Amino acid sequence: MFSLRTAVRRTSTATRQSTRALSAPHTVSSARLSSPYARHALRASAVPLLQGRHYSRAAEPHFSSTRSTVVQLLSNIGSKREVQQYLSHFTSVSSQQFAVIKVGGAIITEHLETLSSALAFLNGVGLYPIVVHGAGPQLNRMLEDAGVEPEFEDGIRVTDGKTLALARKLFLEENLKLIEELERMGVRARPVTAGVFSADYLDKQKYNLVGKINGVNKKPIESAISAGCLPILTSMAETPDGQVLNVNADVAAGELARALQPLKIVYLAEKGGLFNGDTGEKISAINLDEEYDHLMQQWWVRHGTRLKIKEMKDLLDDLPRTSSVAIIHPADLQKELFTDSGAGTLIRRGNKVHTKTSLAEFEDLEKLKEVLVRDREGLDARATVDRYVEGLKERDFKVYYDEPMEALAVVLPPQKDATTPLAHLATFTITKSGWLTNVADNVFASIKKDFPKLVWTVKEDDENLTWFFDKADGSLSRDGEVLFWYGIENGEEVKQLVQEFNKDGRQMFGDLNLESRLHRAAQAATNIGKGVGASAASTEQKRTFSSTGNALRAARSGRPTVPVQAVRTFVTTNPNPPLGEKNMSNTQPSKVALIGARGYTGQALISLINAHPHLDLRHVSSRELAGKQLQGYDKREIIYENLSPEDVKRMSENGDVDCWVMALPNGVCKPFVDAVDQGSPKGNVIVDLSADYRFDGNWTYGLPELVNRSTIAKATRISNPGCYATAAQIGIAPLVPFLSGQPTIFGVSGYSGAGTKPSPKNDVEFLTNNIIPYSLTGHIHEKEIGYQLGASVAFVPHVAVWFQGIHHTISIPLKEKMSSREVRNLFHERYAGEKLVKIVGEPPLVKDIAGRHGVEVGGFAVDATGTRAVICATIDNLLKGAATQCLQNMNLALGYGEYEGIPLE
């Protein structure tokens, strides 16, 4: 026996192979098909399917047979109910309202056959997706071959006349390439390379021949479909006076969708979806009404991911609620479109899930009863529901539903005296529209958040059985019923559950069945509350637990059930589990203690905490200032303390502090760290600003731009990087793979970097008209930079007369010849979307970075040999070099947005 996911993968593979066979230009021998079912289906069709360059469904007498065969093949990847239901849904609208599919240039280059097979399959069941494609990667290569250097402003390609001419030629070639492959597979397709998109100049002075679409002409698309052809569009637009303009393919697809109002907008991508940065898993679905605000606070929702999600929300806000966006690999297009589980990332507006825990909370109890009646059969259905609702008054429950009540679930929490703490899904009713728009997933996800352990039963002939298998960790079949559960990892709990089910499955729950017979409802009302393991009132009592109604039961799903003799639980363990409620969803204040607040960094951090909406500074320790009032903090009056390690231990034990910040000199903070560890080993976060733990493998190095943010967010012991080291690493990291030797870093800091203790390095009079080199070899930052980058560096620090700010000039030997543009592009790509890293053209200046919270990198000079690059980087040593970076780390570890409380420009 294997899991549902294994079965899906296998049938999906077989279907893809069958798809290629269906799309072949000649009769296909059975030897080419690995799926016996697919071979049988092909033989049954009696004709070469989708064959002939002039194929027309209107004139093809075998079309109904072809459609039936394709439906059979699609059933390999989902239940027959799913396939027929979605197919009926897609054909319920006009042909141009089925789907807009955006195809990236890389898909045409790398996956042309797969793409064409997927489109052929859709066309084989009478669907006409509208395809709009780009050619960005190909255009980059073509421009490079032509000696034209690409130029971008704000991520938009600046398009001059020569670039546009090359782009038009390329787009036509790529368009014809796809059309020829489709026609080779027997699918009629029509190139639509002009006349659809009208546009104005986006910003002629800035971007030149780049357009902003202001209109969509649907007639060329409708004409192609009327002729039985798939319309294949390029993303070119024209002004009213006929000037051709370049437009982004994603933008073109969005505007096309706004004009056509399709059910589906599909973005084909090599990655096959969006991925959760914490778990590394593909995101199956995003319900924007429910999840958007929370999602946009996640640390990993940045760069292109953040932009993509925002664009999808803006698009769906302009479309009917039934429309949705899918991001998918072309090989999995059928599974995404025709199954409940999908294969890529589905983005939809959804409906926010509401909950109630008492009948008094329902303003319209009759509406609730109407929803419960809709799945019931028999003349006594209303009386059954009345008794069911009456029974709810006698026990705890939680109801989940969306605004229009397309989906409604009733969950019974575990009873206090239950031997096994399992909640019961007593009712789960979904309309056809609810299944099609995936409201069921939304409701079930809400249930799972509230109830970590759940059990429910489904009739084994339920047409949605596959969906329930996908939601469960384990299952057991007996007497026409399937028992499902999730969250049970203890073997004894599973054993007890199975024993109870085997002993008398009909008596297990005694809960709230909405069977059509009145006497069963009466029994349900009188036996409410019997949990797993509870004694039964009567040995003849039928199972009083139901999870789906009968409205959608039209056919058996064909899903194999698990026999009693082969009980097996599928407990999924995630090697990289989600961060949980603590992270990125924390709205509660966190208590902070600052140890060593006298220095410049401590003062800068106090100022940032003062402006932070969630951080509450409770204790500030300074031996020299003990007894004095803290200045510059407005949230509460704070008196400096002189905390000892014993005080810290006691405060840690009492839970007085959520986050400790150690702003002490090197080699001083260990007794305080040990005190926190002794008081609360795991409960407190410590961020250390010294160098004491930067080489300690038990601590997390907190440089968010270069270290996995998930690692920082999960950490409780964080070593804050040094100021020199932060700027140097950011200035070198993109070139580490290209190093041929040791980079040399010439660094100059303002005298605030020398601290407040008097010395020649912070003596303004001594520094005037002067610069002081120090620690010419072996500086602690030299070791730190090399240790973190994994590459040896030479670092020569200096101090100058300005107060704050650092400048680095970094000489980097390269193992291969590179141009300055190539070097600059590496930095643009590496730090795209980073809010605190700015890439500039000219060498950055100290006076421009002082008092600001980020790093600036520029210069990008390359010597005549092309094998030595010179990079310049600037940073404020007190802010991003210390306090700002500390706040980033605190935010991540305490569960706030990474940039909360940090002024961003």
Cα gap 857→838, rounded to integer Å: 6
The more confident residue out of 9 and 433 is 433
pLDDT at residue 96, rounded to an integer? 80
Contact 594, 605 (CB under 8 A): yes
Per-residue pLDDT band for 91 (boundaries 50, 70, 90) equals confident
> In the predicted model, what is the mean pLDDT of residues 218-242?
94
Phi/psi region, residue 558 (left: phi>0; alpha: psi -120 to 50; beta: rest), is left
More confident call, 683 vs 201: 201
The residue whose two tokens read 């897609």 is 90
**Contacts of 84-89 spanning 24+ positions with Cβ under 8 A:** 85/432, 85/435, 85/436, 86/337, 86/338, 86/339, 86/436, 87/125, 87/338, 89/263, 89/436
In the prediction, which pLDDT does 19 show? Answer: 37
Q: What CA–CA distance (Å, rounded) separates 132 from 265? A: 11
Specify the pLDDT at position 32. Answer: 26
Q: Is the pLDDT of residue 365 over 90?
A: no
pLDDT-based confidence at 76, cuts 50/70/90? Answer: low
Provide the terminal-to-terminal Cα distance of the chain, rounded to the nearest Å. Answer: 57
**pLDDT at position 291, please?**
85
Mean pLDDT, rounded, for 566-593? 46
Report all structural domains of the chain as residue ranges with CATH numbers, in order of start.
Answer: 1-46+54-85 (no CATH), 96-255 (3.40.1160.10), 269-348 (no CATH), 353-569 (3.40.630.30), 590-719 (3.40.50.720), 723-882 (3.30.360.10)
Does the pLDDT of residue 802 top 50, yes or no? yes
Q: Which residues, 6+ apart, have CB-to-CB distance to 523 below 8 Å? A: 537, 538, 541, 542, 544
Per the CB < 8 A criterion, the answer to whether 529 and 415 are in contact is yes
Percent of the chain at pLDDT above 90?
41
> According to the model, what pLDDT value does residue 522 have?
29
Q: State mean pLDDT over 555-568.
A: 30
Among residues 255, 234, 245, which one has the least CA distance to residue 211?
245
Nearest residue to 721 via CA among 775, 805, 788: 788
pLDDT tier for residue 343 given thresholds of 50, 70 and 90 = confident
Instruction: Report whether pLDDT(257) > 60.
Output: yes
| Whole-number Å distance between alpha carbons of 97 and 265 | 10
Give residue 578's pLDDT.
29
Is pLDDT larger for residue 219 or for residue 393?
219
What average pLDDT score do residues 434-442 get? 75
Average pLDDT, the chain: 78
User: What's the whole-model pTM score?
Assistant: 0.51
- Residue pair 349/316 in contact by the 8 Å Cβ criterion: yes
Confidence band for 605, pLDDT divided at 50, 70 and 90:
very high
Q: Tell me the pLDDT tens digit for each residue of 840-884.
A: 989 999 999 999 999 999 999 999 999 999 999 999 999 999 999
Answer whether residue 530 shows pLDDT above 70. Answer: no
Return the exposure string of 332-370: e unless at least 16 CB atoms fall within 10 Å of the residue's CB, then b.
bbbbbbbbbbbbbbbbbbbbebeeeeeeeeeeeeeebbe
Residue 399, helix vs strand vs coil: strand
User: For residues 203 and 216, what is the distance between their CA atoms, to the nearest angstrom?
Assistant: 20
Contact 714, 688 (CB under 8 A): no
Amino acid 601: pLDDT: 87
Confidence of residue 624 (pLDDT cuts 50, 70, 90): confident
* 659-662/806-813 β-pairing: unpaired
Residue that wins the pLDDT comparison between 339 and 807: 807
pLDDT at 72: 55
Torsion sign (Cα): 94, 98, 100, 103: negative
Q: Is the pLDDT of residue 543 over 60?
A: no
User: pLDDT band at residue 68, thresholds of 50, 70 and 90?
Assistant: low
| Range 617-636 average pLDDT | 90
**Between these two residues, 404 and 579, which has the higher pLDDT value?**
404
pLDDT at 557: 31
| Antiparallel, parallel or unpaired: β 230-234 and 130-133 | parallel
Residue 289, pLDDT > 60, answer: yes
Strand 407-412 with 398-402, pairing: antiparallel
| 351 vs 379 pLDDT, higher one | 351
Does 69 or 655 have the greater pLDDT score?
655
Determine the 3-state secondary structure of 630 from DSSP: coil
- Most confident range (mean pLDDT) of 328-337, 525-534, 734-743, 747-756 is 734-743
In sequence order, the 6+-apart residues with CB closer than 8 A to the CB of 717 are 673, 685, 686, 688, 693, 698, 699, 700
State how far the Cα of 144 lies from the Cα of 154, in Å rounded to an integer.
Answer: 20
**DSSP codes of every residue in 303-356:** HHHHHHHHHHHHHHHTS-TT-EEEEE-GGGHHHHHHSSS-SSEEEE----EEEE
Strands (E), 725-836: 744-749, 772-773, 794-799, 806-813
- pLDDT band per the 50, 70, 90 thresholds, residue 222: very high
Span 233-254, pLDDT tens digits = 999 999 999 999 999 999 999 9
**Contacting residues for 120 by C-beta, under 8 A, at least 6 apart:** 19, 22, 23, 50, 182, 185, 186, 187
**Residues known to be catalytic:** 723
Of residues 437 and 698, more confidence is placed in 698
Q: Find all residues with CB under 8 Å of 683, minimum gap 6, and list them.
A: 652, 655
Query: What pLDDT, on a 0 to 100 scale, did the predictor assign at position 528?
Result: 31
pLDDT score for 465? 79
Rounded CA-CA distance 510/522 in Å is 11
**pLDDT given at position 151:** 76
Q: How many CB atoms lie within 10 A of CB 581?
A: 10
The mean-pLDDT minimum among 19-28, 300-309, 375-384, 798-807 falls in 19-28
Contact 896, 582 (CB under 8 A): no
337 falls in which pLDDT band (50, 70, 90)? confident
Return the higher-pLDDT residue of 152 and 31: 152
pLDDT band at 694 (very low <50, low <70, confident <90, very high): very high
Find the helix or strand (DSSP H, E) in which 381 lies. helix 381-392
Q: Residues 436, 86: contact at Cβ < 8 Å?
A: yes
Pair 512, 526: CB distance under 8 Å: no
Question: How far from the centroid of its chain's Cα atoms is residue 135's Cα?
Answer: 25
> Residue 725: pLDDT above 70?
yes
Whole-angstrom Cα distance, residue 709 to residue 718? Answer: 12
Least confident window among 49-58, 359-368, 379-388, 455-464? 49-58
Place 445 in a pLDDT band, splitting at 50, 70 and 90: confident
Residue positions counted in the chain: 905
The set of residues, in sequence order, having a beta carbon less than 8 Å from that of 56 and lying 6+ positions away, is 188, 228
